[in-house]
Structure 1
C-alpha cells in the first residue's frame, strides 16, 4: 500500500525533469549553439528590406523609361493642336509628372545624437522617441511648403504628387515603395520668401523647433538659387477620384 502511494509522486518528479530536459534541448537546438539574443535575424530582415528598396528603384527607372517612350509616340501620333499641347503640358505640371525648375528652398531634418542630453534648463532628459524624426515632422514640413505656394516638392530623390503618402516606421521613411534613413531632405520650388514664412508660421514646426533647441534634433534650411525637380515617374493608383472635365 505504501509503495502504491509513493509511485505517483515519483512519476510526477520524473515527468518534471523530463520536461525540463526537453525545454533545454529545444532552446539549444533553436540557438544552434549561438546566442539566442543575437540580432542576426533583424540584420537579415534589414538587408532584405534594403535589397527590395533597391529593386523597386530599378523597376521605377525601367518603368519610367518605357513610359517616356510611350508618351513620346502618343504625342507624335496624336495630331493635337498647339493649344491642346499647351493645355496638356499645364495639366502634367499640375499633376507633378513634368519636371519643374526655379528658385526654391530645401529643409533637412536629422536625428539627434543617441547620447544627447537636455540642453535647456528645466527640460527633462530625453526619451528615445525625443531624439528621432517622426512622420508628423516630415508631414509638417511638406504641408507648410504647400501652404507657402510650392510649385513642386520632392523628398530625397522622389517627387511628390497628390497620391504620395509620407509614412515612417520607427526612424525609417517609406515613400512610394522605397526606404530611406535620416537625414531627410525636403526640396521645394517656389517663392523663397513665401516658403520661409510658411515654415515659420507652422505650429507643428514651431513645436519641432523646441526639440531642436532642447535635444539637438537636426534642422537646416537652404535657399538655392535654382532648383530642378524631376517629374514623378511612378505608377498612379487612384481609389477616390473622378475625371476632370
Structure 2
C-alpha cells in the first residue's frame, strides 16, 4: 500500500520549482516593459525631482539674464530720444498751412475772370474759343499769386494747394470732382501789394489782360482787408518718381 504522506515532499519540491520559474518570468516581463517605457527618454535629462529642479533653475537664470540685457537696450534707446530735438511749433504751423490742413483768415486780394459776350461785335479773326477763359489763364493767375507770397488760396471757394490740379473743358472747370462755370474767382491771402505786383509781373497774366481789353473778357482785381479761407477738404494727392520702361534700376545706381 502506497503511503500518501511519503509523496508530499516530492510534490512540494515540484511546486517550488514552478514558483521560481513564474517569478523569474514575471521579472523578465517587468524588465522588458520598463525598458520599453524608458527607451525613448534621453539619458541626459534628469529623472529625479532634484535634477529637474536644478535644470529648470538654470533655465530661469538664463532668461533673467536675457531680460536684464533687453532692459538695458531699451533704456539706451530711450535715452537716444532725449537727444532728438523737439519739433519747432512754428515749423509745424507752417507745414500745416502749406498743406492746407487749417483754415486761414487774413488780408489778401480777389481776382475774377469771366467769358466775353459771344453775341457782341468782334473782329473777323476772333473765334468763339478766343472769348472764353482757358485753363492756362487760371493757371497763370494762380502761379503768379503763389510766386507773390500767397499764404493760402481758393478757387471757386475750394481750397487749393501747390499740388492741386484742375482742368478746363471748354468753359467748364473741373476741380476736386466738381464742375464749375464762369465767372471764376480766385482768393489769395497775403500782402495785397505784393500779390498785385506779382500779377502785373507775370507775362502770361499780362497777355490775358491784353486780350480782355480787346475782346471784353472779364478781369477784375480787388483788395480785401480780411478773407476767410476754409481748410483743404480733399485727401492729399501723393506722387512718386518712377523709371521709364526698359530702364534697369540697378544699372542706374551710383
Compute the TM-score of the two structures, normalised by the length of structure 2.
0.58
Compute the displacement of 1:193 (Å).
0.6
Residue pair 1:117, 1:215 contacting (<8 A) in 2 also: no
Deviates more, 1:93-102 or 1:183-192: 93-102
SS of residue matched to 1:136: helix
Matched residues in 1 for 2:95 and 2:139: separation? 25
Task: Give how far 1:210 is off.
Answer: 1.6
Write the deviation string for residues 36-79 of structure 1: whole angstroms up to 9, x where unpaired: xxxxxxxxxxxxxxxxxxxxxxxxxxxxxxxxxxxxxxxxxxxx
Q: Which runs of 5+ in 2 are unaligned?
A: 1-85, 242-254
2:86 is the counterpart of 1:102: no
Q: 1:172–1:179: 8 Å Cα contact kept in structure 2? A: yes
CA separation of 1:124/1:208 partners in 2, compared to 1, >3 Å: closer, same or farther?
farther
Cα distance, 1:87 vs. partner? 4.4
Match of 1:161? Answer: 161
Do the aligned partners of 1:137 and 1:205 also contact (CA within 8 Å) in 2? yes
The question of 1:113 aligning with 2:126 is answered: no
* Higher relative contact order, structure no. (Cα contacts within 8 Å, ≥ 6 residues apart): 1
Query: Cα offset for 1:116?
Result: 2.5
Alignment-derived partner of residue 150 in structure 1: 150
Counterparts of residues 1-245 of structure 1 (less than 5 Å): 87-118=91-122, 124-240=124-240
1:37 corresponding residue in structure 2: none
Deviation at 1:88, TM superposition (A): 3.2
Runs (5+) with no aligned partner, structure 1: 1-81
Question: How far 1:189 sits from its partner (Å)?
Answer: 0.2
**Structure 1 residue 125: deviation in Å?**
4.4
Q: Separation in 1 of the partners of 2:113 and 2:88? A: 41
Distance in 2 of aligned mates of 1:84 and 1:225: 30
Q: Conserved in 2, the CA contact under 8 Å of 1:117 and 1:126?
A: no
Distance 2:96 2:208 in 1: 34
| Alpha-carbon offset, residue 223 of structure 1 | 0.6
- Provide Cα deviations, 1:91-150, integer angstroms capped at 9, x if missing partner: 2112111111111001000000111223xxxx6442101110000000000011011110
1:197 is paired with a residue whose SS is helix
Cα deviation for residue 221 of structure 1 reads 0.7
Q: Aligned-pair RMSD on alpha carbons?
A: 2.0
Q: Secondary structure of the equivalent of 1:97? A: coil
* Residue deviations 1:126-185 (CA, integer Å, cap 9, x gap): 210111000000000001101111001110111111321121011100011111000000
Local SS of the residue matching 2:233:
coil
1: distance between equivalents of 2:222 and 2:182?
17
Report what 1:22 is aligned to: none
3-state DSSP of counterpart to 2:197: helix
Q: Higher Cα Rg: structure 1 or 2?
A: 2
Q: Distance in 1 between matches of 2:102 and 2:140?
A: 25
Contact 1:138 1:166 survives alignment (8 Å): no
